[in-house]
């Protein structure tokens, strides 16, 4: 596997390390790296980390996954994972954000943490010209397809799946920038069949991955930074 990790300078002492990896990252490697870093964060030997990357095409099954929702098991590799949630797709053109934070130093409340991840995605989308919304009973971030003159249609643009071990978080979020949306048809994404999946480019937003990363960084600072209204401190 050929990957290049770019570590971004921290804005202030104690801020999480911010890492961007260029090139597809194998899923088992990413999980191993997350688990190792989470253990280091727990004992205080490494700072918190936000890791942005892409995966090769694959499906992952969360702890609530229903095997009936895997519609095409032969299409891509399927990985069982310890994160919450059901089946989801990862692949090129999708920005995955793995977030390793120490909730003991912030706020030991998983619900508040998930709400903050949602807010991070909503603010990121807002910076890119898209209105993302929460929906009760539906995990992830949704958009109304007014661009198709279908105001009752809602598509999912971002997913959330987390795991917490000894109050250190890992796994995180995925935001569809320009993935092949047909790849989602091999599963019932997050167990929800009555709604679709979209991306920034599908919505007519011609952004690059770098544009997305900049928006993610700015929004993360607003939500989780030292003065963020959802800093969990």
| Distance in angstroms (rounded) separating the CA atoms of residues 181 and 93 | 10
Is 190 annotated as catalytic?
yes
Contact 160, 83 (CB under 8 A): no
Are 215 and 128 in contact by the 8 Å Cβ rule? The answer is: yes
Q: Which residues contact 81 (CB under 8 A, 6 or more apart)?
A: 31, 60, 61, 62, 161, 171
What would the 3-class secondary structure string for 39-92 be? Answer: HHHHHCCCCCEEEEEECCCEEEECCCCCHHHECCCCCCCEEECCCCCCEEEECC
Q: What angle do CA 232, 141, 209 make, to 5 degrees?
A: 90
Q: Identify whether the C-beta of residue 93 lies closer than 8 Å to the C-beta of residue 210.
A: no
- Catalytic residue (one of 128, 188, 190, 197): 190
CB atoms within 10 A of CB 134: 14
The H or E element containing residue 170 is strand 168-176
- Residues involved in catalysis: 190
């Amino acid at each position: 596997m050929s990957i290049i990790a770019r570590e971004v300078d921290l804005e202030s002492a104690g801020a999480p390390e911010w890492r961007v990896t260029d090139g597809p990252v194998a899923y088992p490697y990413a999980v191993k790296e997350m688990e190792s870093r989470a253990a280091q964060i727990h004992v205080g030997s490494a700072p918190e980390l936000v890791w942005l990357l892409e995966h090769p095409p694959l499906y992952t099954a969360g702890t609530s996954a229903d095997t009936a929702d895997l519609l095409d098991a032969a299409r891509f590799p399927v990985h069982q994972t310890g994160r919450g949630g059901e089946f989801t797709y990862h692949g090129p053109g999708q920005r995955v954000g793995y977030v390793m934070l120490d909730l003991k130093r912030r706020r030991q409340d998983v619900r508040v943490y998930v709400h903050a991840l949602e807010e991070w995605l909503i603010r990121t989308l807002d910076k890119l010209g898209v209105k993302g919304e929460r929906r009760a009973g539906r995990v992830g971030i949704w958009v109304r397809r007014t661009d198709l003159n279908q105001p009752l249609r809602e598509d999912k643009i971002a997913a959330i799946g987390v795991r917490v071990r000894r109050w250190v978080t890992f796994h995180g979020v995925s935001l569809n920038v320009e993935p092949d949306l047909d790849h989602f048809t091999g599963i019932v994404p997050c167990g929800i069949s009555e709604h679709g999946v979209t991306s920034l480019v599908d919505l007519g937003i011609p952004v690059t991955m770098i544009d997305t990363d900049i928006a993610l960084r700015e929004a993360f600072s607003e939500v989780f930074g030292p003065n963020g209204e959802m800093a969990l401190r």
